[in-house]
Structure 1
Amino acid sequence: MIKKLGIITALILSCFACGKTGDYVPNVSVNFQMALANPALNALHNPGGAVVLKGYGVAGLILFRRSGGGYAAYDACSPYLPQNKSVITLDNPSLTCTDPASGAKWLLEDGSPVKAPAVKSLKEYTVNVSNFEIFVSN
Structure 2
Amino acid sequence: MRKLLILALLSCCFLSCGKQSEVVPYARVDVTVQINDPRYSLTRVGGYALVQGGVAGVIVYRRSQDAFVAYDRCSSYQPENKCAVNIDEVDIQVVDPCSGSKFLLSDGSPVKAPASRSLRAYIAVSNGFEIHVTN
Corresponding position of 1:20: 19
Conserved in 1, the CA contact under 8 Å of 2:50 and 2:57?
yes
Distance 1:126 1:135 in 2: 8
Size of the alignment, in residue pairs? Answer: 135
Distance 1:84 1:14 in 2: 25
CA RMSD of aligned residues (A): 1.7
Unaligned runs of 5+ in 1: none
Deviations for 1:59-101, whole angstroms, at most 9, x for unmatched residues?
A: 0000111135311100000001111111100013361010011
Counting aligned pairs with the same residue, the percent is 41
Distance 2:117 2:108 in 1: 9
Deviation at 1:121, TM superposition (A): 0.8
Corresponding position of 1:33: 32
Corresponding position of 2:50: 52
Deviation at 1:35, TM superposition (A): 2.2
Deviation at 1:117, TM superposition (A): 1.2
From the superposition, tell whether residues 131 and 92 of structure 1 become closer, same or farther in structure 2 (CA, over 3 Å).
closer
Which is richer in helix? Answer: 1
Distance 1:19 1:47 in 2: 41
Conserved in 2, the CA contact under 8 Å of 1:74 and 1:125?
yes
Alignment pair present for 1:101 and 2:112: no
